């Protein structure tokens, strides 16, 4: 069995265990560095009442805690389902270098997890989205950003 298959089967195992006990949907993930699992997670949305507790996000949080860093450069993630927009963003922010997934976004939609509208919304101008957005207190917010730039020892990521 290949390492890719072994890691995906572990993600499936985590997803099944969480799903079976009512923690959330059929989503599990493992973060791997140098052939070793450094983070594990599964969908815990229902268990925690946290809409951000998707399998990929919980695996990223676990890996970052174990490794003591916010950067997962040099890692890969194996996830049971193709990442939703939120998870894809988290994967990019964590600097994960490779994604392996089991079922596709279209497959997830067939079982009630339809992300297509989110993807459609993100390409619209902010004022045309279902959840409109706009600026507020821009000058004050820019002053905050400028204060951050002047902080000694600041870290930009």
Catalytic residues: 56
| Gap between the Cα atoms of 111 and 33, Å rounded | 31
Q: List the one residue out of 94, 89, 81 whose CA is nearest residue 43.
A: 81
First to last CA, the chain: 37
What sign has the CA pseudo-torsion 55, 60, 61, 63? Answer: positive
> Phi and psi of 112, rounded to 5°?
100, 5
């Amino acid at each position: 069995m290949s390492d890719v298959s072994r890691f995906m089967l572990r993600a499936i195992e985590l997803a099944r265990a969480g799903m079976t006990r009512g923690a959330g949907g059929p989503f599990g993930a493992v973060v791997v560095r140098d052939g070793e699992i450094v983070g594990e997670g599964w969908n815990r949305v229902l268990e925690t009442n946290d809409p951000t507790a998707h399998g990929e996000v919980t695996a990223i949080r676990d890996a970052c805690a174990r490794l003591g860093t916010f950067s997962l450069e040099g890692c890969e993630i194996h996830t049971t389902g193709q990442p939703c927009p939120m998870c894809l963003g988290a994967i990019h922010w964590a600097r994960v270098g490779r994604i392996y997934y089991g079922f596709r976004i279209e497959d997830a939609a067939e079982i009630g997890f339809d992300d297509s509208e989110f993807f459609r919304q993100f390409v619209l101008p902010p004022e045309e989205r279902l959840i409109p957005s706009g600026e507020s207190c821009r000058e004050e917010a820019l002053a905050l950003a400028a204060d951050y730039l002047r902080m000694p020892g600041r870290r930009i990521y």
